[in-house]
Structure 1
């Protein structure tokens, strides 16, 4: 039986994604995210976005990719592993593993551009846009819809035999493809993430109050961290991985093979004292291309002073 074009194009895209180093690739039809609409509305109405006002913008675009890309037909979701082979000195202030290497926005954007170019070169005139956490796209919802995992109780996308230490990105294109189906939820009766969160940010299974999350306080919040949070951060100075570290599915995490995600060796060795005495010059050198620059030098100093 001969393969139809849709099948052929889909196989080509998935094998290209693999060649570019993506962990996996799933595809969904572009359309309105019906189930997510009331959830997002409730979350915003309960002000769980804290000062992340940008979450309130473009409500319609967040739920409908056809408003982002003309004549959008398919949402290609991609996962890229970032689990490190070595972790920081355990007696140190901690930063989220996703920020160990170069800023993922740039690394993934390059891969997505290459994927789109390859599609256009091999399939023909295909219009589309790449999205890496930089536009109103509900990454996790699309990845779950295309069978790459399920949204867990800590609101992260989880994948059987893989875990959750990966980035999610999308290519939204105006080409019809073969579509994948959602997988089932495998959290079961486990409450490890809810029990471990020191600030009780996971207010109910599958509901995270973003305004209570350590990542929010150490990255998004521009003013002083509220005093009632003192002593609850467990040495996290930028981001937090607690709800991922305790997730049983993450015992399957394997180290990534992306050289650009390798950390600056100096950062792994830093002690608490090194962090407390960090100068702007060292900050610039150690975190030259890192996502840690999002909080800026004074933001990192604020976080460390708060932890002392």
Structure 2
């Protein structure tokens, strides 16, 4: 016989599955004791580069109860974005798989709001907030605590069943639920493929990434010019980078997503090297409308492409 917390947890997980989430786990909202020194050292070593916002809300990052008053539970969710499709021109500057389709923030936010609506309709007056990669929430730590996977040597969350090509999202709510056990063990073993393959040596030690060297940071987060030390090391990536995931043995279990909104745009996959090198603002607006690539703006993407051209 289910107690109430178990019943509600079961209902939430079933609805998450119906909404298309790949997995759902629940952890107790509490202070992230193990993360505190890790985050402090990462910031102290300037591994966040120019991402100044990472220094903000230090306390809130470590304690979700400061983000949502009365928070009791963190519902962690994953959404698959794996695609086997590739850009047609193998010499064209590359885009990370997660940016092939529509901006994931909008897609996931809508699903989270539906899940929140379901909780309020079926359980009662529950207060909480939805989070998709845009607030001081340690999503990988919570996903691991909720039993969804472990953090690999490239610092990505890895699932035994699905690899790592998925987005993470959270609902932080003031409802007591049944909590899942943290994912117990690391399954990276002695493998160092991600470390060996990283074009810019951004994985400075197992489980430690210097964000300021990561190609995703250099092509998206960095607002200034890309440092000349990275010339010839960008592996032809103009937006994001999938190298450490592409080489990860666990991604042999990745399956193609079935999210309509993540289907690659034909115009995007069809862009040739010369079309990208000569791209205009007009083409950028047309091809990357509603895409995560919009985040770099035309000037940012052009900067990345020009940097690759000079390399």
TM-score normalised by structure 1 residue count: 0.99
Q: Is the 8 A contact 1:161 1:252 kept in 2?
A: yes
Residue 247 of structure 1 deviates from its aligned partner by 0.4
Paired positions, count: 307
How far is 1:91 from its partner? 2.4
Once residues 214 and 110 of structure 1 are traced to their aligned partners in structure 2, the CA distance between those partners, rounded to angstroms, is 29
Q: Deviations over 1:37-92 (max 9, x none)?
A: 00000000000000000000000000000001110000000000001141212222
Is 1:143 equivalent to 2:174 in the alignment?
A: no
Alpha-carbon distance between aligned partners in 1 of 2:93 and 2:176, rounded to the nearest angstrom: 48
Rounded to whole Å, the distance in 2 between the matches of 1:228 and 1:80 is 35
Q: What's 2:47 paired with?
A: 48
For residues 155 and 17 of structure 2, the distance between their equivalents in structure 1, rounded to whole angstroms, comes to 26
Query: Could you tell me whether the CA contact under 8 Å between 1:113 and 1:130 is conserved in 2?
Result: yes
Alignment correspondent of 2:166: 166
Instruction: Determine helix, strand or coil for the equivalent of 1:116.
Output: helix
- Rounded Cα–Cα distance in structure 1 between residues aligned with 2:196 and 2:230: 17
Gaps of 5+ in 1: none
- Aligned position for 1:272: 273
Paired with 1:273 and 1:235, the residues of 2 have a C-alpha distance of 14
CA apart distance, 1:258: 0.6
CA positional deviation for 1:127: 0.6
Indicate if the aligned counterparts of 1:85 and 1:256 stay in contact, CA closer than 8 A. no
Equivalent-residue separation in structure 1 for 2:236 and 2:84 (angstroms)? 21
CA distance in 1, matches of 2:32, 2:99: 30
TM-aligned CA deviation for residue 252 of structure 1: 1.1
Structure 1 position 271, deviation (Å):
1.4
> d(CA) in 1 for partners of 2:123 and 2:146?
22
SS at match of 1:225: coil
1:104-253 map, 5 Å = 104-183=104-183, 184-253=185-254
The farther-off stretch of 81-90 and 126-135 is 81-90
Describe the superposition over 1:186-229 as per-residue Cα deviations: whole angstroms up to 9, x where unpaired. 00000000000011000000000000011111001111111111
TM-score normalized by the length of structure 2: 0.98
Following TM superposition, the consecutive aligned residue runs of length 4 or more in structure 1 with deviations greater than 6 angstroms are none
SS of equivalent to 2:20: coil
Structure 2 gap ranges (5+): none
Residue equivalent to 1:22: 21
Structure 2 residue matching 1:14: 3-state secondary structure: helix
